[in-house]
Structure 1
Amino acid sequence: MSFGSRQRAVLALLGALGLSLAGAVSPAGAADAPPGVPTQLFNGNRNCSTDADRPTYLWAGNGVVVEGIPGATADGSPVGVRYQVWPVADPSHTETVTQDRAVPGAESRGLLPDDMLTDGQTYAWRAQTMAGNTASDWTTPCYLTIDDTRPASAPAVTSPNYPPNQWNQGGDPVRFVLSAEGDDDVTGFQYSWTQPVPVIVLADIGDHGIPQPRDPYADSAHFVRADAPGGSATLDLVPPYSGGGILSVRALDRAFNVSETAVYRFLVSGTAPTVTPADPSPGFGDTTTFALRPDAGLQSRSPVVGYSVHVVGGPDGDRTFEVAAAADGTATAELTLDGITGERLDVTSRSANGWLSDPASWAVDYDTAPTVTSDVYPENDSGGGAGVTGAFTFTPKARGIVSYTYSFDAGPEVTVAAGADGAASIEWTPDSDGPSDLQVYATTRSGIQLVTYDYSFTVG
């Protein structure tokens, strides 16, 4: 007898079994109408398969949860759900799991214990709604195969154009060949540019507890099917980051059991662009044009179409902006330097095929704290005395200064306007002799508070 014929014979037997069980549950002449048949059937949070030739493969290490939404009764009386399971190879060996209390409209779960299920065996299960002395018809059987055995070994991972342990010119997608090496338990692969490889999520749980199964292979950025059980798959991938790369790969069976992880490491020669400012030594407040030029080797593989410019050190925090490239891959970016201690640019290029270069960095440091001078109270020295007034002059190191804010000996802050030349002068009379401290910072026309200068001296 062929496998298909055997399954049809089993189904006929199950139909007869269902009729006899239904008769035993619902006494003849019962006045109550039977409740509705359960709906929304799932096993292990995955869809019920009613095709005996295409069962759902499940890991049963902690048992298998079967579930369905019970049918309603005409009078709204309480309901329960009964689940039956049997080996397809021996349908006379039936086990029953009962959930006596179920919530109408919500999934009702039953656990098929792991000691009821044998690795490699195919089972059928069905459900019926119970209400008092009545029961619904049985659902159409669902079929599942227990797979508690993970793939025996990690997959083989090779690349014909980015060999491991040597430097490779970046720019082309990396071709990977993933192989199960004949292990016919393997039907696909999971891959990731991160380590460890993320946990596989096979379902979300929606309203009323209804599972929403996911097909992992729908996520082509992380999963790929083998061309046949035990076969292979080919990927062309662009690394999501610059520099060298690490691809982690696991083999998967039909139950999504995972193998050990294979790790493929490869090296990519530098592909950073060139960043050249028009002014080699700009200062605070200067607007400078930067010329961006692609790496020649990268440009020859796939033309650069744009640049990402990440600016570190601005007054409002780091920021990033994009610049489109000309046909030859070059571009210009104009930037006003407003970081109070300097700024750094990290520039990456983006090629037409999505390749990201490693970053090129350019940085400048400068001092924006004001210069402070005093004839009566010189810095790091002694002078004047209690009751002796001294003048302090604030001179800017940056353009566009409109005011200075200062305080003596951690006292209240005072703000004075700057003159047309950006300088200001104040007078101060100490109450007593001893060490003293003046802190002062300048504010620009655009409201940026520059670096504070700490001026120490001794009174007396």
Structure 2
Amino acid sequence: MSFGARPPTVLATLGTLGLALAAVASPASAAGGTPTTPTQLFNGYRHCSTDVDRPSYLRTSEGLVVEGIPGITDTTGNSQADMRYQVWPITDPTQVTTVNRSRVSPGFEAPATLPATAFEDGQTYVWRAQTVAGSAASDWSALCYVTADSTRPAKAPTITSANYPPDVWNKGGEPVEFTLSTGGVDDVEGFEFSWQQDLPVIGTNIGDYGVPQPVDPYSTTKYFKRADTLGGSVTLSLVPPTGSGPMTLWVRSLDRAYNGSAISSYSFLVSSAAPTVTPAVPKPEFGDPTVFTLRPDPGLQAKSPVVSYSVRTLGGRNDRTFQVAPEADGTATVEITLDGVSGENLEVTSESANGWVSDATWWGIGYDTTPTVVSDTYPENGSGGGADVPGTFTFTPKVKDVVSYTYTFNNGDPEVTVPADDQHNASIDWTPATDGWYDLTVYGTTRSGIELAPYDYYFTVN
């Protein structure tokens, strides 16, 4: 699972590339143009902060990727330029580290990596960029302020829940209320959480011209929540991913540089609150429209009214999933024609007004839609008749509304279809050319065009 399209490994690769290019810098050709001040400044694929009182907190243990778009005035459109980056501690402007990125195209981001040796954890720094073309240089860009932070939170967060105690069976039906605390770590900005142990990766998409597109991870409320204050706690109201069974929430805290703490987990159990499914008759017949009544779990209905049922059919001719709206008391009715030739199943869940989705109820029925086959001359699983001795085979249905039968001998012969009579039966006369073992395969077809399950009738010709 990832948040954004650029994982940290790709970011590191780009940073290394920028540093390598800086090491082989060579003068660029101005081609008659004048360098202009860089724009679109980013650090660590996050926006540059020009406010000294609100620096960006960034990891610098492997260096810091900085970038901007160089500018140059050129009528030919073929110019290249160099980018010069400088960084120094805000407390000592004399300790300047300079990195060059050579031969870059104006209009595109020109990333370079400021070395890790230029930073000390916990200190604040300022950096700037300049376009260079030959002996000419632009004005310096705006100043960007960064605080180096490569230290993860020292403790894993603590997790508690007031309404779903751990390691015991709880009645479901209402969101789980969690409280996440920092464990005493005072630089935690927020928390990342998921019902899966693999937590999302915070990354950044790269847009046209190489411009990063930073997104505040805390805007994705499915996985992130910012603390009200630095080092503070948060409360979550979450609906579990399934309606019952063992549940585990995985959580880590994040500092301002998105360094993640060790992961904590909270496990609890939720008992079943599935709806009930009742057909109008105990054993619905194949092909008959049948009304089913859906009723919510009483405890679940009391906590939050059911607003919808999701019904999925399995094993029928045209399986589908559809929604059914309930009455005020939570009950609903739905008419379904059961046409699965071997049987059919219904899977039903309920959704409450508060977003709770119950576990599923399964209802199912099996059908034998194969025809009955009888022959006096050639009994099933026996022997009789002989070569050139005719025999009659009679087909009778186990379900109603059969209008024809299709059969073949020994599976390799062409299929033959014969109509059924008014009683939905059919008879055929057949004469074997040779003795030996035979397999008669036959299936019926209903008036609505359903091909029923085939039956294999085995016998031996004397």
Instruction: Quote how far apart the aligned CAs of 1:323 are.
Output: 0.9
Matched to 1:212, the amino acid is Q
1:84-128 deviation digits (Å, cap 9, x = unpaired): 122222221111111111123221111123233322222211111
Distance 1:282 1:426 in 2: 32
438-447 or 155-164, which moves further after superposition? 438-447
Pairing 1:106-185 to 2, within 5 Å after superposition: 106-185=108-187
Pairing 1:208-247 to 2, within 5 Å after superposition: 208-244=209-245, 245-247=247-249
1:275-301 deviation digits (Å, cap 9, x = unpaired): 111111112112211111111111111
Check the 8 A contact 1:275/1:290 in 2, yes or no: yes
Instruction: Quote how far apart the aligned CAs of 1:206 are.
Output: 1.2
Check the 8 A contact 1:35/1:74 in 2, yes or no: no
* Residue number in structure 2 paired with 1:448: 450
Pick one of 294, 315, 336 that aligns with 2:317.
315
Distance 2:84 2:373 in 1: 88
1:348-372 deviation digits (Å, cap 9, x = unpaired): 1111111111222211112111112
Instruction: Quote how far apart the aligned CAs of 1:391 are.
Output: 2.3
Instruction: Quote how far apart the aligned CAs of 1:32 are.
Output: 5.4
3-state SS of paired residue (1:446): coil
Check the 8 A contact 2:349/2:357 in 1, yes or no: yes
* Residue number in structure 1 paired with 2:419: 417
* Residue number in structure 2 paired with 1:9: none
Distance 2:120 2:329 in 1: 64
3-state SS of paired residue (2:73): coil
* Residue number in structure 2 paired with 1:41: 41
1:299-323 deviation digits (Å, cap 9, x = unpaired): 111111221112221123x421111
Matched to 2:340, the amino acid is G
The count of residues paired between Structure 1 and Structure 2 equals 430
Shift in CA distance, 132/429, structure 1 to aligned 2, threshold 3 Å? farther
Q: Report sequence identity in percent.
A: 61
3-state SS of paired residue (1:299): helix
3-state SS of paired residue (1:71): strand
Check the 8 A contact 2:172/2:243 in 1, yes or no: no
User: Where in structure 2 are there 5+ consecutive unaligned residues?
Assistant: 1-26
Check the 8 A contact 2:84/2:98 in 1, yes or no: yes
Distance 2:124 2:310 in 1: 55
Distance 1:416 1:91 in 2: 98
* Residue number in structure 2 paired with 1:13: none
Pairing 1:60-459 to 2, within 5 Å after superposition: 60-75=60-75, 76=77, 77-201=79-203, 203-244=204-245, 245-316=247-318, 318-411=319-412, 412-459=414-461
166-175 or 327-336, which moves further after superposition? 166-175
3-state SS of paired residue (2:262): strand
> Scaled by the length of structure 1, what TM-score is found?
0.89
> Scaled by the length of structure 2, what TM-score is found?
0.88
Instruction: Quote how far apart the aligned CAs of 1:211 are.
Output: 0.9
Distance 1:400 1:47 in 2: 72
Distance 2:379 2:187 in 1: 84
Check the 8 A contact 2:60/2:148 in 1, yes or no: yes
Matched to 1:235, the amino acid is L
Instruction: Quote how far apart the aligned CAs of 1:31 are.
Output: 11
1:219-264 deviation digits (Å, cap 9, x = unpaired): 1122111122221001122223201432111111111111122111
Distance 1:436 1:152 in 2: 78
* Residue number in structure 2 paired with 1:16: none
Shift in CA distance, 249/438, structure 1 to aligned 2, threshold 3 Å? same
Check the 8 A contact 1:373/1:392 in 2, yes or no: yes
Matched to 1:271, the amino acid is A
Instruction: Quote how far apart the aligned CAs of 1:61 are.
Output: 3.6
User: Where in structure 1 are there 5+ consecutive unaligned residues?
Assistant: 1-25
3-state SS of paired residue (1:327): coil
Distance 1:36 1:102 in 2: 14
3-state SS of paired residue (1:82): strand
Check the 8 A contact 1:183/1:229 in 2, yes or no: no
Check the 8 A contact 1:60/1:147 in 2, yes or no: yes
Matched to 1:426, the amino acid is I
Matched to 1:269, the amino acid is S
3-state SS of paired residue (1:108): coil
Please provide the CA RMSD for this pair. Answer: 2.0
Shift in CA distance, 128/451, structure 1 to aligned 2, threshold 3 Å? same
Check the 8 A contact 1:402/1:418 in 2, yes or no: yes
* Residue number in structure 1 paired with 2:50: 50
3-state SS of paired residue (1:187): strand
Instruction: Quote how far apart the aligned CAs of 1:398 are.
Output: 1.8
192-201 or 46-55, which moves further after superposition? 192-201
Distance 1:82 1:431 in 2: 95
Check the 8 A contact 2:31/2:74 in 1, yes or no: no
Check the 8 A contact 2:84/2:130 in 1, yes or no: yes
Instruction: Quote how far apart the aligned CAs of 1:162 are.
Output: 1.2
Matched to 2:56, the amino acid is T
Shift in CA distance, 459/151, structure 1 to aligned 2, threshold 3 Å? same
Shift in CA distance, 377/98, structure 1 to aligned 2, threshold 3 Å? same
Distance 2:62 2:370 in 1: 67
3-state SS of paired residue (2:241): coil
Check the 8 A contact 2:126/2:146 in 1, yes or no: yes
Instruction: Quote how far apart the aligned CAs of 1:33 are.
Output: 5.4
Distance 1:433 1:160 in 2: 79
Shift in CA distance, 392/60, structure 1 to aligned 2, threshold 3 Å? farther
1:185-216 deviation digits (Å, cap 9, x = unpaired): 21100111222222223x11111221111111
Matched to 2:130, the amino acid is Q
Distance 1:85 1:68 in 2: 14
Check the 8 A contact 1:73/1:131 in 2, yes or no: no
Check the 8 A contact 1:375/1:390 in 2, yes or no: yes
Shift in CA distance, 378/175, structure 1 to aligned 2, threshold 3 Å? same
Distance 1:85 1:288 in 2: 76
Instruction: Quote how far apart the aligned CAs of 1:330 are.
Output: 1.0
1:416-435 deviation digits (Å, cap 9, x = unpaired): 33333332222333222111
Distance 2:433 2:116 in 1: 86
Shift in CA distance, 393/187, structure 1 to aligned 2, threshold 3 Å? same
Check the 8 A contact 2:156/2:183 in 1, yes or no: no
